[in-house]
Amino acid sequence: MTAPDVSRERGPLGLLCDDIVRQREGSPFQAAYPELPLLDELRELWASLGADQQLRQSEEQVPDNAGPLNSSHLIHRSLSLMRAQSPDYLRQFLAYAETLSWMEELVESSVAPRNPAMAGARKSTRGAKAR
Protein backbone atom coordinates (compact mmCIF):
# COMPACT_ATOMS: atom_id res chain seq x y z
CA MET A 1 0.00 0.00 0.00
CA THR A 2 1.40 3.39 -0.96
CA ALA A 3 1.10 6.69 0.87
CA PRO A 4 -1.51 9.10 -0.47
CA ASP A 5 -0.31 11.83 -2.81
CA VAL A 6 -0.41 15.01 -0.69
CA SER A 7 0.89 17.21 -3.50
CA ARG A 8 -2.56 17.26 -5.15
CA GLU A 9 -4.73 20.32 -4.80
CA ARG A 10 -7.38 20.21 -2.13
CA GLY A 11 -10.90 19.51 -3.31
CA PRO A 12 -13.95 21.64 -2.57
CA LEU A 13 -14.67 19.84 0.71
CA GLY A 14 -11.09 20.28 1.88
CA LEU A 15 -11.17 23.98 1.00
CA LEU A 16 -14.45 24.38 2.89
CA CYS A 17 -12.94 22.70 5.97
CA ASP A 18 -9.88 24.96 5.75
CA ASP A 19 -12.13 28.01 5.52
CA ILE A 20 -14.17 26.95 8.55
CA VAL A 21 -11.02 26.44 10.62
CA ARG A 22 -9.64 29.80 9.49
CA GLN A 23 -12.84 31.62 10.39
CA ARG A 24 -13.08 29.93 13.76
CA GLU A 25 -9.49 30.77 14.68
CA GLY A 26 -9.86 34.41 13.71
CA SER A 27 -13.29 34.84 15.27
CA PRO A 28 -13.68 37.46 18.03
CA PHE A 29 -16.27 35.18 19.60
CA GLN A 30 -13.72 32.45 20.33
CA ALA A 31 -12.29 34.37 23.28
CA ALA A 32 -15.74 35.35 24.50
CA TYR A 33 -17.12 31.80 24.15
CA PRO A 34 -14.29 29.34 24.83
CA GLU A 35 -14.80 25.59 24.64
CA LEU A 36 -15.81 24.22 28.03
CA PRO A 37 -14.70 20.69 28.96
CA LEU A 38 -17.78 20.35 31.15
CA LEU A 39 -19.98 20.59 28.04
CA ASP A 40 -18.44 17.41 26.64
CA GLU A 41 -19.30 15.57 29.86
CA LEU A 42 -22.85 16.91 29.80
CA ARG A 43 -23.28 15.90 26.15
CA GLU A 44 -22.11 12.37 26.98
CA LEU A 45 -24.48 12.19 29.96
CA TRP A 46 -27.41 13.49 27.89
CA ALA A 47 -26.69 10.98 25.12
CA SER A 48 -26.49 8.16 27.65
CA LEU A 49 -29.79 9.15 29.26
CA GLY A 50 -31.44 9.42 25.84
CA ALA A 51 -30.23 5.95 24.86
CA ASP A 52 -31.53 4.50 28.13
CA GLN A 53 -34.91 6.16 27.59
CA GLN A 54 -35.17 4.81 24.02
CA LEU A 55 -34.24 1.33 25.26
CA ARG A 56 -37.03 1.50 27.87
CA GLN A 57 -39.47 2.67 25.20
CA SER A 58 -38.54 -0.26 22.97
CA GLU A 59 -39.16 -2.63 25.89
CA GLU A 60 -42.61 -1.09 26.48
CA GLN A 61 -43.57 -1.80 22.87
CA VAL A 62 -42.90 -5.53 23.20
CA PRO A 63 -46.21 -7.36 23.74
CA ASP A 64 -46.42 -9.66 26.78
CA ASN A 65 -47.09 -12.73 24.65
CA ALA A 66 -44.53 -11.89 21.95
CA GLY A 67 -42.93 -14.88 20.33
CA PRO A 68 -39.20 -15.14 19.59
CA LEU A 69 -39.66 -13.84 16.02
CA ASN A 70 -41.85 -10.87 16.93
CA SER A 71 -40.29 -7.77 15.35
CA SER A 72 -40.64 -5.63 18.50
CA HIS A 73 -39.05 -8.40 20.56
CA LEU A 74 -36.18 -8.79 18.08
CA ILE A 75 -35.51 -5.04 17.98
CA HIS A 76 -35.47 -4.74 21.77
CA ARG A 77 -33.24 -7.79 22.10
CA SER A 78 -30.75 -6.45 19.55
CA LEU A 79 -30.66 -3.04 21.27
CA SER A 80 -30.12 -4.71 24.65
CA LEU A 81 -27.28 -6.83 23.28
CA MET A 82 -25.77 -3.76 21.63
CA ARG A 83 -25.92 -1.92 24.96
CA ALA A 84 -24.22 -4.83 26.74
CA GLN A 85 -21.44 -5.09 24.15
CA SER A 86 -20.81 -1.41 23.40
CA PRO A 87 -22.89 1.38 24.98
CA ASP A 88 -21.07 3.97 22.86
CA TYR A 89 -22.02 2.16 19.66
CA LEU A 90 -25.64 1.97 20.84
CA ARG A 91 -25.67 5.75 21.37
CA GLN A 92 -24.20 6.35 17.90
CA PHE A 93 -26.65 3.90 16.31
CA LEU A 94 -29.68 5.49 18.00
CA ALA A 95 -28.52 8.97 17.02
CA TYR A 96 -28.13 7.79 13.42
CA ALA A 97 -31.59 6.17 13.40
CA GLU A 98 -33.14 9.27 14.95
CA THR A 99 -31.51 11.48 12.32
CA LEU A 100 -32.81 9.26 9.51
CA SER A 101 -36.30 9.38 11.02
CA TRP A 102 -36.14 13.15 11.28
CA MET A 103 -35.00 13.44 7.66
CA GLU A 104 -37.81 11.15 6.50
CA GLU A 105 -40.38 13.32 8.28
CA LEU A 106 -38.81 16.43 6.75
CA VAL A 107 -39.03 15.01 3.23
CA GLU A 108 -42.59 13.78 3.71
CA SER A 109 -43.72 17.17 4.98
CA SER A 110 -42.10 19.01 2.05
CA VAL A 111 -43.63 16.81 -0.66
CA ALA A 112 -47.15 17.78 -1.64
CA PRO A 113 -49.62 14.94 -1.11
CA ARG A 114 -50.74 13.36 -4.37
CA ASN A 115 -54.36 13.22 -5.31
CA PRO A 116 -55.11 9.53 -6.02
CA ALA A 117 -57.81 10.47 -8.54
CA MET A 118 -55.37 12.57 -10.57
CA ALA A 119 -52.57 9.99 -10.48
CA GLY A 120 -54.40 7.60 -12.84
CA ALA A 121 -55.79 10.34 -15.12
CA ARG A 122 -52.52 10.97 -16.94
CA LYS A 123 -51.57 8.17 -19.33
CA SER A 124 -48.40 7.63 -21.28
CA THR A 125 -48.56 8.16 -25.03
CA ARG A 126 -45.31 6.35 -25.79
CA GLY A 127 -46.98 2.97 -26.34
CA ALA A 128 -49.62 4.44 -28.66
CA LYS A 129 -47.04 5.71 -31.17
CA ALA A 130 -45.28 2.35 -31.41
CA ARG A 131 -48.44 0.57 -32.57
**For residues 96 and 102, what is the distance between their CA atoms, to the nearest angstrom?**
10
Q: Would you say the pTM of this structure is higher than 0.75? A: no
Q: List, as one string, the DSSP characters of 18-65.
A: HHHHHHHHT-THHHHS---HHHHHHHHHHHHHHHHHHHHHHHHTS-TT
Name residues whose C-beta falls within 8 Å of residue 75's C-beta, 6 or more positions apart in sequence: 58
Q: Model confidence over 64-115: pLDDT tens digits?
A: 887 878 888 888 888 889 989 998 888 889 889 888 989 999 888 887 666 6
Q: Model confidence over 61-74: pLDDT tens digits?
A: 888 887 878 888 88
**Domain parsing of the chain, residue ranges:** 37-61+68-109
Q: Model confidence over 10-49: pLDDT tens digits?
A: 888 888 888 888 877 767 766 667 777 888 888 888 888 8
